[in-house]
């Protein structure tokens, strides 16, 4: 049976690659990227030969697509940077994706905020009715 690898090692390598890609975006990426770009997460299989890199972009849908395309075009350059920085036996093949988790978190927060505002407004209305009934 094939050794599936140590989950802690994979998680550590994912964090290191995430930090290294973020450093590359700060230092090595000459052209400015549209929007505010962050490396949200990196997911890798146990063999560490491939990496799915999830990018979070604060901006329009066009900007998100443009950032992912730009990064995918320069994936080889980023892979070389990772190889030099991390001294791994195999440098993982990078594939970039848009991270939708941040958008979902913001959406849930907005819904919760709206519900809180409605609850407070309903509470004030019931208090006002109670006071008018007393008079």
Reported as a single tens digit per residue, the pLDDT across 17-32 is 999 999 998 887 777 8
pLDDT recorded at residue 3 = 52
> 3-class secondary structure for the chain?
CCCCCCHHHHHHHHHHHHHHHHHHHHHHCCCCCCCEEEEEEEECCCCCCEEEEEEEEECCHHHHHHHHHHHHHCHHHHHHHHHHHHCCCCCCEEEEEECCHHHHHHHHHHHHHHHHHHHHHHHHHHHHHHHHHHC
The topology under which CATH files domain 7-99 is GMP Synthetase; Chain A, domain 3 (3.30.300)
pLDDT at 130 over 60: no
126 has pLDDT over 50: yes
Predicted TM-score (pTM) of the model is 0.73
């Amino acid at each position: 049976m094939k050794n599936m690898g140590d989950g802690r090692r994979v998680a550590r390598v994912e964090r290191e690659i995430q930090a290294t890609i973020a450093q590359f975006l700060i230092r090595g990426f000459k052209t400015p990227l549209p929007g505010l770009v962050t490396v949200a997460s990196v997911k890798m299989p146990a063999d560490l030969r491939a990496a799915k890199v999830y990018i979070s972009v604060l901006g329009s849908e066009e900007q998100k697509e443009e950032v992912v395309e730009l990064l995918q075009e320069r994936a080889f350059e980023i892979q070389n940077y990772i190889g030099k920085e991390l001294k791994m036996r195999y440098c993982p093949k990078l594939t970039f994706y848009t991270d939708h988790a941040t958008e979902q978190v913001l959406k849930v927060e907005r819904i919760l905020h709206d519900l809180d505002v409605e609850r407070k407004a309903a509470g004030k209305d019931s208090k006002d009715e109670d006071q008018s009934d007393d008079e």
